[in-house]
Amino acid sequence: MKLFQARRFSGTYGDLLSSVEFGAAARFFLEDLYSDKDYSQRDAQFSRIAGALQTLFPQQVVATAVSLAQLHQLTEELDAQMAAAWITQPSNTQGDSVTRYMACWKHVARESDRQRQLDMVLSVGADLDRLTRTPGLRFMLRMMRRPASAAGLGSLQNFLESGFDTFTGMSGHGSRAREFLQIIQNREATWIERLSRGEATQCRIALENCLANAMSD
């Protein structure tokens, strides 16, 4: 299921992934928020994140880390329900991943939570963009590597540093970051609307095109 969704994202944002301007940001979103990677280590860290935030991390990043933990929790919950629905789909959909995915989405539903998930993704992105304009914060994050690792929060530390550097690298900084996030918002909102409304023909064509694009990369 996660592999299918990662391929869907890769196909949806193939133009951004190959872009000089937005390529790094698109890869960051794909690998850290939409990937099919095993995040069990990060799961364990997030389960005990609250108590360590105030004492370990710079105050400027605490709210972002909390938002990330909440996003992660919601994403895992939705993914688990999608995976359970995937396994139980009727035999006539087993060989057709597009039909199967659409059926799973319809079965799980939770449209408001899907929108909340997107809002949280955009919020984390906006927070990371904002943090790039905080004087001295990059140095503070670098100084946190050893304490974060000692506290077992190395994966969170890596995410924050990677996100910081990714958004810093976009020329034009705030304006380019906002343009990138607007593209994400528009395209993901369209997916949510189409899949939630059950627009079968449009969804099938779009999904098949996405998967084809992802396979060709």
Per-residue pLDDT of the chain (217 residues; tens, 9 = 90+): 677 787 888 888 989 999 988 999 999 888 877 666 665 666 566 656 656 666 777 888 888 888 887 888 888 889 889 989 988 877 665 557 888 888 889 899 999 999 999 999 999 999 989 888 888 888 988 888 988 888 778 888 888 899 889 888 876 666 889 999 999 999 999 989 888 887 767 777 877 877 777 666 5
Q: What is the pLDDT of residue 112?
A: 94
- Residue 125 in tokens: 């992105």
Whole-number pLDDT of residue 183: 96
pLDDT for residue 211: 73
Closest CA to 57 of 140, 158, 132: 140
Burial call 7-41: b when 16+ CB within 10 Å, e when fewer: bbbbbbbbebbeeeebbbbbbbbbebbbbeeebee
> What is the tally of structural domains in the chain?
1
- Which runs of E-coded beta strand occur in 108-208? none
Strands (DSSP E) found in 62-179: none
pLDDT at 89: 78
What 8-state DSSP symbol labels residue 121? Answer: H
Cβ atoms of 33 and 9 within 8 Å: the answer is no
pLDDT at 65: 81
Six-digit token string for 22: 């937005």
User: Cα–Cα distance between 212 and 205 in angstroms, integer?
Assistant: 11
Cα separation, 11 vs 17, in Å, equals: 9
CB-CB contact of 17 with 217 (8 Å): yes
Domain that holds residue 154: 2-216
How remote is the C-alpha of 105 from its chain's centroid?
18
Contact 26, 179 (CB under 8 A): no
